[in-house]
């Protein structure tokens, strides 16, 4: 059972480039989310989805797009990368929409550097 799989593990971009961070889960979870983790800031929610076809913004959505065409996949797109988007990105899922009483299953992260 793979759980939550994120690719790539590491990525270096130049300012202005675009790219997609991939996230897939094989647990049939309804809820999926993207966080970024910066030193001293903890994890901040970027976007989340409560089911296929439904997405919503988190705390820091600017500069990022998401889509949820299937239950399994929740890609995060950086439209025009900026140095401020240098961070470690985590994808997480949980069985049902609404994290109340549910644990989040995290991927192992993507370390992104924007030069």
Residues near another protein (CB under 8 A):
4, 31, 33, 35, 40-45, 48, 50, 56, 58-59, 90, 92, 97-101, 103-104, 106-109
Q: Which CB sits closer to another protein, 27 or 97? A: 97
Q: Which CB sits closer to another protein, 92 or 114? A: 92
Using CA atoms, how far apart are residues 31 and 104, in angstroms rounded to an integer? 9
Q: Residue 54 CB, nearest distance to another protein (Å)? A: 10
Q: Residue 55 CB, nearest distance to another protein (Å)? A: 11
Q: Residue 57 CB, nearest distance to another protein (Å)? A: 10
Q: Which CB sits closer to another protein, 70 or 108? A: 108
Using CA atoms, how far apart are residues 32 and 16, in angstroms rounded to an integer? 27
Backbone angles phi, psi at 36, to 5 degrees: -115, 145
Name the pairing type of β-strands 10-13 and 110-114.
Answer: parallel
Q: Which CB sits closer to another protein, 15 or 84? A: 84
Q: Residue 48 CB, nearest distance to another protein (Å)? A: 7
- What tokens were used for 19? 């790219």
> Are 89 and 113 within 8 A, CB to CB?
no
Other C-beta atoms lying within 10 Å of the C-beta of residue 24:
19
């Amino acid at each position: 059972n793979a759980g939550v799989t994120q690719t790539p593990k590491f990525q270096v971009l130049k300012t202005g480039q675009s790219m997609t961070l991939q996230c897939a889960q094989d647990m049939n979870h309804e809820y999926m989310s993207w966080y970024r983790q910066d030193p001293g800031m903890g994890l901040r929610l970027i976007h989340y989805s409560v089911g296929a076809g439904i997405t919503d913004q988190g705390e820091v959505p600017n500069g990022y797009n998401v889509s949820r065409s299937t239950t399994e996949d929740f890609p995060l797109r950086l439209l025009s990368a900026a140095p401020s988007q240098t961070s470690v990105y985590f994808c997480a899922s949980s069985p049902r929409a609404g994290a109340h009483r549910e644990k989040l299953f995290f991927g192992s992260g993507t370390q992104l550097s924007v030069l």
